[in-house]
C-alpha cells in the first residue's frame, strides 16, 4: 500500500517535471528555432515552397494537390509487401511512370509544379513530397499542424499500378485497400477529411476545379455535412464515372465519399466529424502522421515537425448551405444523434470553381 502510494507520488513528480522541463532547442543560422539542428536546412525549403509553389502561403489548387500527392505516393504500399515503398517520393522521382496510372489523372500538374522546386533543394523525393504536403495543408485555416519527419532514403523504384482507390470502387474494396496498407475504417474516414480542401479536375473535364464542398479553402467539417445532403444535380456534363448527384450547383460529389458516408462500417465515423472541429483535426493529424511515414524506418527519421507553419484556427460552427436543413440530410448513423446545425440565410448558393485548376 505504502509502496503503491510512493509510486504514485513519484509518477506525479515525474509528470510535473516533464510538464515544466523546457524543450531543448537550437537556433539556426536563419534565426529560427527547432528541436534538432538537422532541421535547420528545412526553413529555407519551407520559404521556397511558399513563394514558388503555394503563391505566397495560399490554400489554393497547389496546396490541395500537394496533399493529394502525398496520399497517392504513400498508399503505394502494403503491410504484406510487394506494393511499393510507401511514402518514399516515388511518385515524384518516377513521375513518368506513376502519372500514367489511371487513378493519377491530373497529378502530372503537381509533379510538374514540384519538380523544379525540388531540384533546388537537397531533399530526397520522399522528404520533399511529404514536407510540401504538410506546408500546403498548413496554409488552410482550420487544418491541424501536420508532423514532418526527415530522412527518407531515395526511392528505389516506382510503385506498381492499382494501389490507389478510385471513386468508382465499392466500400468493401476501398476498405480492403486501406487495410492492406495498415489503416482501419476509422482512419480511412479520418484521411477523407482532406476532401474539405479539394476539387476535381478530371472526373468531369468540362468543369475543372469543381470543389467537393462549399468551402474548399478552409479545413472545416463542411464536406462531411454536404456529402450527406440529398443530391439533385450533376454540376457539369451529366453523370460521369465516380460521380453521384450533388446537392449544390458547382459542387461535385464523389461516389466513393457518398457510399462511405452511408455504409454501416463507416457511417458513424463520418457523422462524428460533423461540426466537431477539434476531433476532426486530431483524427486527421494522427492518420496523416501514419500515412506520411508508410514503409519508412521511423527509427532513422528525425522529427522536424516544428518547421511546419502553424495553421490559422477555425472555430466557428459550420452551417447548412442556404436553403438546406436537417430534413435534407440522409442520416446513415443510427447509433448517435445528428448534431444541431443552423442554416446560412438566403437562396441556395452556386459554388465557384477553385481557380488555377
Using CB under 6 A as the binding rule, whether residue 263 contacts ligand HEM is answered as no
Give dist(CA 153, CA 256) in Å, integer: 33
Active-site residue, 72 included: yes
Tell me: does residue 64 bind ligand HEM (CB under 6 A): yes
Q: Does 213 count as an annotated binding residue?
A: yes
CA pair distance 100, 134, nearest whole angstrom:
25
Interface with ligand HEM (CB under 6 A), residue from 9, 176, 202, 331: 202
Using CB under 6 A, count the residues that bind ligand HEM: 25
Applying CB under 6 A, does 198 fall inside the site for ligand HEM? Answer: yes
297 labelled binding-site residue: no
254 lies in the site for ligand HEM, by CB under 6 A: yes
* Active-site hit among 72, 80, 102, 130: 72
Find where cell 496498407 sits. Answer: 181
Query: Which region among 3-11, 17-25, 196-204, 295-303 touches ligand HEM (by CB under 6 A)?
Result: 196-204
Closest CA to 248 of 106, 351, 119, 103: 351
- Is residue 34 a contact point for ligand HEM (CB under 6 A)? no
Rounded Cα distance, 222 and 241, in Å: 24
Q: At what angle do helices 255-262 and 171-180 cross, to 10 degrees?
A: 90
For residues 357 and 201, is the Cβ–Cβ distance under 8 A?
A: yes
CA 309 to chain centroid, in Å, comes to: 16
Residue pair 87/296 in contact by the 8 Å Cβ criterion: yes
Q: What is the grid cell recorded at 241?
A: 464515372
- Tell me if 273 contacts ligand HEM by CB under 6 A: no
Q: Establish if 65 lies at the interface with ligand HEM (CB under 6 A).
A: yes
- List of residues contacting ligand HEM (CB under 6 A): 61, 64-65, 67-68, 71, 106, 165-167, 174, 191-192, 194-195, 197-203, 242, 254, 256
Catalytic (active-site) positions? 72
Binding residues for Ca(2+), as ranges, are: 73, 86, 88, 90, 196, 213, 215, 220
Amino acid at each position: 500500500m505504502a509502496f503503491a502510494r510512493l509510486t504514485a507520488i513519484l509518477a506525479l513528480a515525474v509528470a510535473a517535471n516533464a510538464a515544466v522541463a523546457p524543450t531543448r532547442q537550437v537556433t539556426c543560422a536563419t534565426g529560427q528555432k527547432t528541436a534538432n539542428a538537422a532541421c535547420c536546412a528545412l526553413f529555407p525549403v519551407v520559404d521556397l515552397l511558399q513563394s514558388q509553389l503555394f503563391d505566397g502561403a495560399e490554400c489554393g489548387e497547389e496546396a490541395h494537390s500537394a496533399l493529394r500527392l502525398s496520399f497517392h505516393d504513400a498508399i503505394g504500399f502494403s503491410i504484406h509487401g510487394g506494393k511499393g515503398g510507401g511514402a518514399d517520393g516515388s511518385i515524384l522521382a518516377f513521375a513518368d511512370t506513376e502519372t500514367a496510372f489511371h487513378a493519377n489523372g491530373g497529378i502530372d500538374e503537381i509533379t510538374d509544379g514540384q519538380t523544379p522546386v525540388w531540384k533546388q533543394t537537397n531533399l530526397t523525393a520522399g522528404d520533399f513530397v511529404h514536407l510540401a504536403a504538410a506546408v500546403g495543408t498548413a496554409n488552410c485555416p482550420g487544418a491541424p499542424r501536420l508532423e514532418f519527419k526527415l530522412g527518407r532514403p531515395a526511392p528505389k523504384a516506382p510503385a506498381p499500378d492499382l494501389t490507389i482507390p478510385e471513386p468508382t470502387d465499392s466500400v468493401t474494396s476501398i476498405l480492403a485497400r486501406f487495410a492492406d496498407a495498415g489503416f482501419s475504417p476509422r482512419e480511412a474516414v479520418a484521411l477523407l477529411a482532406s476532401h474539405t480542401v479539394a476539387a476535381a479536375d478530371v472526373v468531369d473535364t468540362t468543369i475543372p476545379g469543381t470543389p467537393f464542398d462549399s468551402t474548399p479553402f478552409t479545413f472545416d467539417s463542411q464536406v462531411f455535412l454536404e456529402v450527406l445532403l440529398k443530391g439533385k444535380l450533376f454540376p457539369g456534363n451529366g453523370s460521369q464515372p465516380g460521380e453521384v448527384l450533388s446537392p449544390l450547383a458547382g459542387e461535385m460529389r464523389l461516389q466513393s465519399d457518398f457510399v462511405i458516408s452511408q455504409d454501416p462500417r463507416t457511417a458513424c465515423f463520418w457523422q462524428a466529424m460533423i461540426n466537431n472541429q477539434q476531433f476532426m483535426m486530431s483524427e486527421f493529424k494522427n492518420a496523416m502522421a501514419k500515412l506520411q511515414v508508410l514503409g519508412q524506418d521511423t527509427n532513422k527519421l528525425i522529427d522536424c515537425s516544428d518547421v511546419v507553419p502553424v495553421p490559422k484556427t477555425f472555430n466557428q460552427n459550420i452551417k447548412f448551405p442556404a436553403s438546406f436543413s436537417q430534413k435534407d440530410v440522409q442520416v446513415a448513423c443510427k447509433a448517435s444523434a445528428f448534431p444541431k446545425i443552423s442554416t446560412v440565410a438566403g437562396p441556395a448558393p452556386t459554388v465557384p470553381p477553385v481557380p488555377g485548376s
